Amino acid sequence: MGVLTRTPLATLSVLLGLVGCAGQAGVDAPSAHAGHAAGAAHAGQAGAEDRRLLVAFPDAMRTHTLANMRDHLLALAEIQAFLAAGAYDKASDTAEQRLGMSSLGLHGAHEVAAFMPEGMQAAGTAMHRSASQFAIAARDASATGDLKPALVALARVSQTCVACHAAYRIQ
Ligand code: HEC
């Protein structure tokens, strides 16, 4: 194990991926197929070779991070269910508290960030920012009744998950 410095390009690509077409750096990311609908991701097209950058985390931090990740996915599922039920404020709160800028303390982001290469930190920040932007869009939807901007914002949140997963691994 240890930090694998396969290519600084992976880092560059994830940064580019965040602003444009996410997932270019990634290879082994079947989940990224979902992104095609939003024009978000083209990961998985380069075959079976795993080109993600392996980032060395201490064991406890890896376990903690993976648990956080599972909660991220749960949060997304809850947000979608709230939106479907017309509970836009709840969708907003869930996004802000569990994924947004307000979640940084909850996730011990500061300590974990110390072990991350810069591009991975940027990918994390992009996720927190996009979730907070979604939270605003969802709150607006409760006033306007127009859900579309919130759905666009939610797709952006998912794209930030995809972009990081396409470029990095911790095990
Ligand atoms: C800053 C990078 C980053 C971001 C952003 C990110 N993840 Fe992850 N996630 C990872 C890494 C690294 C792994 C471990 C992958 C590996 O080592 O194979 C992971 C793993 C996971 C796992 C598997 C957990 C397990 O128990 O194995 C889930 C589920 C997950 N992420 C969901 C999400 C969701 C949903 C989002 C967006 C809301 C997200 N992640 C955003 C980096 C990120």
pLDDT, block means (10 residues), the chain with 171 residues: 41 39 38 40 62 96 96 98 97 98 83 94 97 98 96 98 98 96
Atom of ligand 1 nearest to the CA of 55: 12
Ligand 1 test: best mutation among 55, 76, 161, 170, most atoms within 8 Å of CB?
161
Euclidean distance between CA atoms 71 and 95, whole angstroms: 11
Both tokens assigned to 10? 């992976």
Euclidean distance between CA atoms 87 and 56, whole angstroms: 40
Euclidean distance between CA atoms 77 and 169, whole angstroms: 23
CA angle 165, 72, 160 (to 5 degrees): 40
Closest-CA residue, ligand 1 atom 32, reads 69
Q: Which residues contact 7 (CB under 8 A, 6 or more apart)?
A: 51, 53
